[in-house]
Chain A
Amino acid sequence: MTASAPVLARPTAVQWARKNLFNNWWSGLVTIISLPVLAYIAYRVLLFVFVNAQWEAVTRNLTLFMQGTFPRDEQWRLIAQILFFALAFGVGAGTNSASTRDAAEDAGLTYIKGTIFGTFRRMWSLALFIGILLYFATLDPAGAWYNPFLLVAAVAVMAVLGYQVKWLPRRFRNLGWVLTGILLVFGFQIVSGFDAGGWVPVGLILAVTAYSAIAADRFNNRWIAAGVRLAAAVVVALTVRFIYIVVDTTGVGWDFWSGLHLTLMVSALAIVLAFPLGLVLALARRSTLPALRWIATGYIELIRGVPLIALLFMGQYVLGFLLPQEVSLSSITRAIVAMSLFTSAYVAEIVRGGLQSLPKGQTEAGQALGMAPPTIMRRIVLPQALRAVIPAMVGQFISLFKDSSLLTIIGILEFLGVREIVHAQPDFRGVAIAETLVFVAFGYWAFAFAMSRESQRLERRLRVSR
């Protein structure tokens, strides 16, 4: 008889069932009762999805769901935007993975490469959604004026192309992040147009880069150093502004956006705008100055005490009165203001949690080194606190993304709202209600689920690295 290593036998189906379904009499009873109920529910769901549902309401209006009433002859802008975002995503992912590799090298650890399958495992819900969109697009080819398969392929190519920044030398890491930011802003502006005030975000990113890129130790006097850095930042910002004045092309403002496109853009904009305000509020709430603390606490508790819809109503009906007569904001702008103010209170609480989670020794170490309080905050506390709150921020973004459906109630046609256009069409008046709703719910689900998976992964990684 030959000796062989003991092998963990794969359990047979019966063994598996005995262990997992009929472990004891109680478990067996539960299985016997719940199996038919669950099977019936599954049967009804499958019957609906594959047999009974009239998906024409969705397939014929796919463009409507995606981009709503976006002007048809400007659609190329959306394509360009998707490609820009794909490139930005690739550059960001490449820079991120390269800096992880750098850190691993510095620590003398082995860097385990992430695989494309790992990404896919986290993003499978999104992939499924895109797959369904592609399938629906083939059912009604007249709906799309471009080849959706080609678009998906182009997106993949752009992302892979951007990812190659991974191979750049180390000194380009920060530049990678700057490039990601600028590509995102450009992607946004390719739709909204390169005009009025559009230079601000790009100018800001580049000015800050210029300010920090100039080595300070070259100058003996710190005032001169600061002056030179500032001058460089101003020159860069003015140059960007000049370029924008020269380029000046109008695009399609967000008042004309709708559908899934609007949902994604509005939630991204609101969280970006809410973050600085939330950061300031969190610092003020943690401040030792009572007046600052009271103001911040009052604001945060007031906002957190009312539902978002109340603030959206405030934005729609009252915001106009709070501003001078000359200023008139569009409905979507007012909604974005309301959503940003709402989110800032929640961001403040999240950041406060991050600040509180930091051991006191960190601040004290800074004090022992003779650092000024703002420097301690900027160099020691904030970098650690903000890294710790990334998963919670993703969670807040998910909830903001879900809350953006409330824009329907104030008459803005985002992803849920475009259903009203669909069901105003003669063919779908009062029919296929469940179908469009299931489709919309699935769209929200796909994005939110992918993001929550990503946030879980970040959380695990942070826990390991601590």
Chain B
Amino acid sequence: MTTSQTTTEVARPPFWRDIRVIRVVGQIVAVVIVFFLLRYFYGNLIENFNRLGISTSYGFLSSPTNFRITYHESFNPRSPVWEMVLVGVKNTFLAGFFGIILASVVGLFVGVSRLSENWLINKAAMLYVETFRNIPPLVIIVFFGFAVFFYGPFPIFSESWEFSLPGSENVFLILNKDRWGIPGFSEIGNLTFFWVVLALGVIAAIVVWKWRTRMFDRTGQPHHRVLWATGVVLAFSIVGYFVTGQPFEVSYPAISEDRRVLNGGFAINWGFISVTVALGLYTASHIGEIIRGSILAIHSGQSEAANALALSGFQRYRFVILPQAMRIALPPTINQYLNLVKNTSLGTAAAYAEITALTKTSIGNGRPTFQSIVIMMAVYLAFSLVISAILNVVNQRLKLVDR
């Protein structure tokens, strides 16, 4: 009894080599170092701010910005800073959203083309990928912003090119250096009821989707649930449009008499086009490679099995290869979406009023730098967190499918 106790005591290493002690001390040391580092920076920050008389409050958010934002007529120099932040967030979101759509479409197309047996298509896709992947996105944005738009072939606003459909009075496309006009919708009645009907339609579509899925599980009949759900939403919106008294109409873009203002339709400015198209094309080259890699990663036995079942080439892709490839491709693709959203910050180079450009202007107008940048970083962190959350959900669902 006593001997065994002594042996355990002898076997115990000196305290500086005892793993339990090291664990605790190591953590304490790390926390203390980080704490003092942050304390040091924070102390310097406060001291410097006090010395220079800079405020650390966020009260400036409600003071007027004192500058205009081009293409945002409702925003005037009297609008408070927080409204500017909202404009920036909205524009960042818009560029990111449409950029993601463009990148996905082009990327899927390029990725599948890279595997085409057609030599021409294959090589063209390869050229595309190798070109865009290796050029900085900023250079592409500047190219679109300045070589295509600012100094490019398009006419100035007052001499816009106007295109109309044959046999129609209405202009459906206006091109120039400044703002492009495309047909849009304009509100002529009360839209509230229409939105309600549309929301009902979406709910109905979800119910129909579930019903079709159940049907498929029970009977094995083709579910066609995408078709069904789309049909339900369409039916609801068409019926709703007439029932609520035709609350909106198609509006065509038109240039005013003095050829200064773009009326009607939907106006998109050159900064937005540059950022969206440039980032869309750049990211598409990455997504294309991801999709190609994922399709190649599918074991050739899958393809052979599909052939053995006498599936056609399209069926083989649609029901065997792509569903499996998508599972591999989705996580890295969402990562690329995240990169795209972060890259919209380069819009400042094409004078696109997203959050970075507005923060820079606002700092130039004498707003406190530290707080402005903190807000800007918080906005991007929020975007990142949302996309990461989506990625986590996707990963979890993919994992559930996997046994």
Interface of A toward B, CB cutoff 8 Å: 20-21, 23, 27, 30-31, 34-35, 38, 284, 288-292, 295, 302, 304-307, 309-310, 313-314, 317-318, 320-325, 398, 402-403, 405-406, 408-409, 416, 430-431, 433-434, 437-438, 440-441, 444-445, 448-449, 452
Task: Count residues of chain B with CB under 8 A from any CB of chain A.
Answer: 57
How far is it, in angstroms, between the C-alpha of A85 and the C-alpha of B289 when the chains are bound? Answer: 34
Asked if residues B131 and A310 are in contact (CB atoms below 8 Å), the reply is no
A contact residues around B151 at 8 Å (CB): 430-431, 433-434
How far is it, in angstroms, between the C-alpha of A224 and the C-alpha of B162 when the chains are bound? Answer: 87
Nearest first, the 6 closest Cβ-Cβ pairs linking A and B are: A448-B134, A20-B119, A305-B384, A291-B27, A434-B147, A402-B136
Asked if residues B373 and A318 are in contact (CB atoms below 8 Å), the reply is yes
Which has the most chain B C-beta neighbours within 10 Å: A31, A322, A324, A444?
A322
Residue on B nearest A296 in the bound complex, by CB = B30
Which has the most chain B C-beta neighbours within 10 Å: A307, A322, A440?
A307
How far is it, in angstroms, between the C-alpha of A304 and the C-alpha of B43 when the chains are bound? Answer: 26
Asked if residues A433 and B147 are in contact (CB atoms below 8 Å), the reply is yes
A contact residues around B381 at 8 Å (CB): 302, 305-306
Answer whether A409 and B348 are a contact pair too, CB < 8 Å, given A314-B373, A449-B134: yes
Asked if residues B120 and A21 are in contact (CB atoms below 8 Å), the reply is yes
A contact residues around B135 at 8 Å (CB): 402, 441, 444-445, 448
Which single member of B28, B134, B146 contacts A433 (CB below 8 Å)?
Answer: B146
B contact residues around A304 at 8 Å (CB): 384
Any A CB within 8 A of the CB of B65: no
A contact residues around B138 at 8 Å (CB): 405-406, 408-409, 416
Which single member of B26, B130, B370, B384 contacts A449 (CB below 8 Å)?
Answer: B130
How far is it, in angstroms, between the C-alpha of A34 and the C-alpha of B139 when the chains are bound? Answer: 28
- Number of A-B pairs, beta carbon distance below 8 Å: 155
CB distance from B75 to the nearest CB of A (A): 22
B contact residues around A322 at 8 Å (CB): 41, 44-45
Which has the most chain A C-beta neighbours within 10 Å: B116, B118, B143, B345?
B118
B contact residues around A324 at 8 Å (CB): 44
CB<8 Å pairs between A and B, sample of 21: A20-B120, A31-B121, A289-B26, A290-B27, A307-B380, A309-B345, A317-B369, A318-B369, A323-B44, A324-B44, A325-B51, A405-B136, A405-B139, A409-B346, A409-B349, A416-B138, A433-B147, A433-B151, A434-B151, A441-B140, A452-B133
A contact residues around B196 at 8 Å (CB): none
Residue on A nearest B49 in the bound complex, by CB = A321
Which single member of A284, A317, A438, A444 contacts B370 (CB below 8 Å)?
Answer: A317
The segment from B170-178, B230-238, B243-251, B356-364 that touches chain A is B356-364
Interface of B toward A, CB cutoff 8 Å: 23, 26-28, 30-31, 34, 41, 44-45, 47-49, 51, 116-121, 124, 130-131, 133-140, 142-143, 146-147, 150-152, 342-343, 345-346, 348-349, 356, 359-360, 363, 369-370, 373, 376-377, 380-381, 384-385
B contact residues around A21 at 8 Å (CB): 118-120
How far is it, in angstroms, between the C-alpha of A31 and the C-alpha of B385 when the chains are bound? Answer: 44
B contact residues around A289 at 8 Å (CB): 23, 26-27, 30
CB distance from B219 to the nearest CB of A (A): 34
CB distance from A403 to the nearest CB of B (A): 7
Residue on A nearest B137 in the bound complex, by CB = A402
Asked if residues B44 and A321 are in contact (CB atoms below 8 Å), the reply is yes
Which single member of B51, B143, B348 contacts A441 (CB below 8 Å)?
Answer: B143
How far is it, in angstroms, between the C-alpha of A438 and the C-alpha of B146 when the chains are bound? Answer: 12
How far is it, in angstroms, between the C-alpha of A406 and the C-alpha of B137 when the chains are bound? Answer: 9
CB distance from A371 to the nearest CB of B (A): 14
Which has the most chain A C-beta neighbours within 10 Å: B120, B134, B370, B376?
B134
A contact residues around B27 at 8 Å (CB): 289-292
A contact residues around B385 at 8 Å (CB): 305
A contact residues around B142 at 8 Å (CB): 416, 437
Asked if residues B26 and A292 are in contact (CB atoms below 8 Å), the reply is yes
B contact residues around A30 at 8 Å (CB): 116, 118, 120-121
Which has the most chain A C-beta neighbours within 10 Å: B26, B120, B370?
B120
B contact residues around A284 at 8 Å (CB): 30
CB distance from A337 to the nearest CB of B (A): 13
Residue on B nearest A284 in the bound complex, by CB = B30
How far is it, in angstroms, between the C-alpha of A440 and the C-alpha of B45 when the chains are bound? Answer: 39
Residue on B nearest A372 in the bound complex, by CB = B17
A contact residues around B143 at 8 Å (CB): 434, 437-438, 441
Residue on B nearest A125 in the bound complex, by CB = B134
Residue on A nearest B31 in the bound complex, by CB = A291
Asked if residues B134 and A437 are in contact (CB atoms below 8 Å), the reply is no
B contact residues around A448 at 8 Å (CB): 133-135
Given contacts A317-B373, A318-B369, 15 further A-B contacts (CB under 8 A): A23-B118, A27-B117, A31-B121, A304-B384, A306-B342, A310-B345, A318-B370, A325-B47, A402-B136, A405-B139, A409-B349, A416-B138, A416-B142, A433-B146, A441-B136
